[in-house]
Chains A and B, each alone.
Chain A
Amino acid sequence: GDSVTQMEGPVTLSEEAFLTINCTYTATGYPSLFWYVQYPGEGLQLLLKATKADDKGSNKGFEATYRKETTSFHLEKGSVQVSDSAVYFCALSSTSGNTPLVFGKGTRLSVIA
């Protein structure tokens, strides 16, 4: 079945450092791909998405590009802030359209001043 694999955390960075969180997927066809973010004490929020190959999703300085050839959707940000400390989840939407999103296990990011 469909699956998502994220890099294990936690990831600890200094403020203004470059961030990459790796995400690869296994799916039939061409799923839609998503990044969700969970801030402390809150539910998950949609951060960005891409629905077809080579699409780039972006929001709040974060970017991710849908790479079909490497089945990847890595999350990047050029300069992280303390306020970016959160858990990040990669997810995919099956092309069948009748099953829920498949989430990765999440990657915890801590940004220190």
Chain B
Amino acid sequence: DAGVIQSPRHEVTEMGQEVTLRCKPISGHNSLFWYRQTMMRGLELLIYFNNNVPIDDSGMPEDRFSAKMPNASFSTLKIQPSEPRDSAVYFCASSRQGIASGGYTFGSGTRLTVV
């Protein structure tokens, strides 16, 4: 089991550019979560999916952020246009037992720096 796979591990981009973060959940897991972590705000839940359907995106900070899950094995988080305040570590997590299960498996994260 390769775990939750996120790419890229590090991304440096210029303000105004589009950024796409990718996540491959564990096979058989039916819930997927996107989190953002910063020193100031801590860990924030951005959006989550159940069976590929977005359930709650109220944590997405602005319309510049969007997420998709076209199939059970892939999800993307897109920021367009990016801003320096979007700099953070973005984590994807998946769960086999549903949204409320404690068995979340996190990826290693994507460290995004917007200059």
Contact = CB atoms under 8 A, between A and B. Distances in A.
A43 B100 contact: no
B42 A93 contact: no
A101 B43 contact: no
Contacts of B48: 100
A49 B42 contact: no
A64 interface: no
A17 B99 CA distance: 37
B44 to A, nearest CB: 9
A100 B99 CA distance: 5
Interface in B81-115: 91, 93, 98-109
Given A43-B93, A103-B43, A32 B109 contact: no
B42 A106 contact: yes
Nearest to A34: B102
14 contacts: A43-B93, A43-B108, A44-B104, A44-B106, A45-B106, A93-B100, A93-B101, A93-B102, A98-B99, A100-B56, A101-B100, A103-B43, A105-B43, A106-B42
Contacts of A93: 100-102
